[in-house]
Structure 1
Amino acid sequence: MTPADLAAWRQHMGYSQRAAAAALGVTLATYQRLERGAEWTGGGAVTIDLRTALACAALAAGLPSWGEEKRPE
């Protein structure tokens, strides 16, 4: 998943950056760093890990957290 993919996922979900961060269980600053694709200090590249990519896919598919019942549509 690239930073552009993450931004596209957020827009598809209709999330603000703050809402996307909350949905993924990260701070707003962490989410912004992921979507930016670079560290705030030094500008080093940031990699979006597989867990984050899978969480985005699960949220987009409407899957509940493990052990929870699927929410009615």
Structure 2
Amino acid sequence: MTSGEFKKLRKFLKLSQKEMAEALGLKRRMIQYYEKGERDGEPLDIPKAVELACYALSSGVREFTFVAPKRMSKKGSELAL
């Protein structure tokens, strides 16, 4: 994800930088760095975890709780993970 794509996504979601930071669990300053594509004059890549979180936001996911799926034993009974 490029810095331009990141900013376009935030605007598409109609979120302020502060709201985007809260939704991603980041500081507002990091949102500014990601949108600029640099930090302290050095290029800054957007981490894959942030990209995936952006995808989740764009898909309508605001919170996530993992529930382990059940799997079957060789004998056919369910096992909890």
TM superposition score category, shorter chain reference:
0.7 to 0.9
TM-score using structure 2 length = 0.75
Q: 1:44 aligns with which of 19, 42, 45?
A: 42
Question: In angstroms, what is the RMSD of aligned CA positions?
Answer: 1.3
- Over alpha carbons, which structure has the higher Rg? 2
Over 3 Å off, 4+ runs: none
1:13 aligns with 2:13: yes
| Alignment-derived partner of residue 62 in structure 1 | 60
Q: Which has the higher contact order (CA 8 A, sep 6+)?
A: 1
| Alignment-derived partner of residue 76 in structure 2 | none
TM-score using structure 1 length = 0.83
Q: Which runs of 5+ in 2 are unaligned?
A: 67-81
Bigger proportion of residues as helix: 1
Percentage identity across paired residues of the two chains: 30
Bigger proportion of residues as strand: 2
Number of aligned residues? 66
Paired residues of 2:23 and 2:62 also in contact (CA < 8 A): no
In 1, Cα distance between the equivalents of 2:30 and 2:62?
A: 23
